[in-house]
Amino acid sequence: MALIHHEDGDLDYNIFSRLGKAMQPGMLLVSSGATEIGRLDYLKRTGEEATGDVEDVKTDYAAQGQMILMQNYRQFINPKYSVRQVLVEHSHFNDDEKREHIVKLLMRAPGQNAIPIINYNDPVSSDENRKMELKRMENGNGLVECVDNDETAAVITMLVRAKTLVILTSVDGIYKDRKNPDTLIREISAKTPQALEDKVNQTIEYCYGASRSGAGGAGAKLKYSLAPAQQGTSVYISGAHNRIADIISGKADSTHIYLEE
C-alpha cells in the first residue's frame, strides 16, 4: 500500500522514482503491490471491480499488476543496470535444490551489473493450494510459508546473509501509540539473540492488527525482522517516502533492530 497514492487511487510515482534511483547492483528489491496495482488498473479500464470468487479475483488482479509493477521499476532504475524479475513461491524455499538455485541466481547478479526484483508469484498460487502443499511438506523443521513479502524478504536476507534489510511501509517505524508520532521506537537492540527476541516480543505487544485486510501489519514486520537481526543483519523499518540512504544513515526516522557488538 506504500506504493499507492490513496487520495488519487493511483500509483505514487514519487515513491517509485525515489526507490528506483536508489537501486544499484548489490541490492535486492522484494516488492509487493501487484494485486492492488492490478485492481486499480482494472478499475480504471472497466469502471468497476472484477466479480467472482475472491481468490480468483485476487489472482487476476495480481497477474495484471505484475507487469505494471515491473514496468515502473524499470522506468526509474538507472538504465545502465539490468533489471531482473524473480517470481518465487513457498515451495522454492522449502526444497534444498530450488533454494540453492535461487541463491545462486541472486548472488550472480551484482557481478552482472543486475538488480533482481523479487515478488511472490500470486497468479499461480492460491491460499488454499499453498496450505495444502505446506501440509504435505510438514517435517517439523519450520516451513517457509511466504504469507506476505515481509516474510519473503526476511528469508532471502538470511539466505544471502545481507548486511542490511530495509522494510518500507506507510509509516516511519514502530510506535508505542500509532496515534502519537512522538512514541516512535527508534531502536530495539540487545547483546544476545535471546535478549533481542525478548525485546522484539515485548514491542510486538504495541502492534494492534493490520493496516488493511490481508496485510500482516506492524507486528508481522517485527516478527520477520527478528531472525535476520539475530543473524547479524541490521534491520530498519521506515516509511517508503524516506530515502534509503537517509534511513541507513539515521537522517530519516525509523525503527532500527540489531544485535549489539
CATH number at residue 151: 3.40.1160.10
- Average pLDDT for residues 60-81, to the nearest whole number? 95
**d(C-alpha 178, C-alpha 40), whole Å:** 27
Grid-cell match 516488492, residue found? 31
Q: Is the pLDDT of residue 181 over 70?
A: yes
Domain boundary (161, 182, 207) is at 161
**Is residue 25 located within the same domain as residue 124?**
yes
- Computed from CA positions of residues 136, 32, 73, 246, in that sequence, does the dihedral angle turn out positive or negative? negative
pLDDT value for 133? 53
Q: Are residues 153 and 190 in the same domain?
A: no
Residues 22-43 have a mean pLDDT of 93
pLDDT of residue 148: 73
The pLDDT assigned to 32 comes to 83
pTM of the model: 0.86
Nearest C-alpha neighbor of 189 from the set 261, 254, 260: 260
Beta strands (DSSP E) in the chain are 4-5, 10-11, 29-30, 82-88, 114-120, 164-169, 174-175, 184-185, 187-190, 234-239, 255-259
Q: Domain boundary residue among 137, 161, 185?
A: 161
Pairing verdict, β 234-239 and 164-169: parallel
Domain identity same for 79 and 137 = yes
Task: State yes or no: pLDDT of 139 exceeds 70.
Answer: no
* 3-state SS assignment for residue 7: coil
* pLDDT value at residue 178: 82
> Which pLDDT score is estimated for 116?
98
**126 shares its domain with 238:** no
Domain residues for the domain of 196 are 163-261
Mean pLDDT is lowest, of 43-52, 126-135, 147-156, 164-173, for 126-135
% of the chain exceeding 70 in pLDDT: 87
Kindly tell me the burial class for residue 150, based on how many C-beta atoms sit within 10 Å of its own C-beta (0-12, 13-18, 19 or more).
Answer: buried
Domain count, the chain: 2
Between the ranges 5-14, 26-35, 215-224, 228-237, where is the mean pLDDT highest? 228-237
Q: How far is CA 9 from the centre of its chain?
A: 21
Do residue 50 and residue 153 come from a single domain?
yes
Give the gyration radius of the chain's Cα atoms: 18
Give the model's pLDDT for residue 57.
92
Backbone φ and ψ of 105, nearest 5°: -60, -45
The confidence band for 95, taking pLDDT boundaries of 50, 70 and 90, is: confident
Judge if 155 and 168 occupy the same domain.
Answer: no
Do 24 and 119 belong to one domain? yes
Q: Specify the pLDDT at position 211.
A: 44
More confident residue, 93 or 124: 93
155 lies in the same domain as 34: yes
- Give the separation between CA 137 and CA 89, rounded to whole angstroms: 14
User: What pLDDT score does 149 carry?
Assistant: 83
Boundary residue ending a domain (132, 161, 190): 161
Residue with cell 544485535: 259
Same domain, 124 and 216: no
Query: Are 63 and 53 within 8 A, CB to CB?
Result: no
Confidence at residue 147, expressed as pLDDT on a 0 to 100 scale: 63
Q: Are residues 20 and 137 in the same domain?
A: yes
pLDDT for the residue 155: 92
Q: Is the pLDDT of residue 258 over 60?
A: yes
Q: What mean pLDDT is reported for the chain?
A: 87
- Provide the 10 A C-beta neighbour count for residue 45: 9
Longest dimension (CA), the chain: 56
Cell numbers found for residue 100: 540453492
Do 148 and 200 fall into the same domain? Answer: no
Are 152 and 212 in a shared domain?
Answer: no
- Taking 60 as the threshold, does the pLDDT of residue 36 lie above it? yes
Q: pLDDT tens digits, residue range 208-246?
A: 644 433 345 788 889 999 999 999 999 999 999 999 999
